[in-house]
Amino acid sequence: MQLGKGMVSTAEIFLLTLVFSLPLGLLVSFGRMSKNGLVSGLSKFYISVMRGTPLMLQLLVVYFAPFYLFGLNLRGYRFPAIILAFSINYAAYFAEIYRGGIASMAAGQYEAAKVLGYNRFQTFFKIILPQVLKRILPSITNETITLVKDTSLAFVLAHAEMFTMAKQIAAKETSMVPLMVAGLFYYLFNFVVAFVMEQIEKSMNYYR
């Protein structure tokens, strides 16, 4: 029963992180590629900090910052803080993946779209982005699989996700079985994620 609740919590962290970090990463990639030096510089600094510091530290900073900086004692902030920390961390990684995919597109794609009368918004979302997603999907899959395992870091804020519950039960029952069950869950979760992403990748192979 307890492990079941932990599984649900792990799945929630995983899904909500993806919901917020994928679009945020795209926005950050726009900033990173901006011709405005200030916007580009800030985006680059953000990515550098998020990728250069441990996620565990970022969880602690996001959770405790409101209190230590502004004296705010926010009730019920623990879970939102976890989602916020995970989202801004993974958005930085996704931003660089997006940037690499966008930069790989040939200039002729934009020129052809302009000839056809597409504006910049239409060009990106109707022509460029679908091709970029196809190219970056393997990299997105790798980060997504890493996210499944990283959800265990929520224990830093005393949140009862899957791994935390397994450790508590293992200590109480002096048995390795709960930890083995948790390991099996992570493996199966990642197996399903990899399978789903593989099917999406196959569906995007238009010319095969």
pLDDT digits (tens, 9 = 90+) for 77-129: 899 999 999 999 999 999 999 999 998 888 888 888 888 888 888 888 888 88
DSSP state of 152: G
Question: Quick one: which of 58, 68, 63, 56 has its CA closest to 78?
Answer: 63
Give me the helix-helix angle, 177-203 and 129-150, nearest 10°. Answer: 180
- Cα 32 off chain centre by: 18
Q: What is the pLDDT of residues 130-189, one digit of tens each?
A: 888 888 999 999 999 999 999 989 988 878 777 788 878 888 888 888 888 888 888 999
Query: How much is the average pLDDT of 36-48?
Result: 96
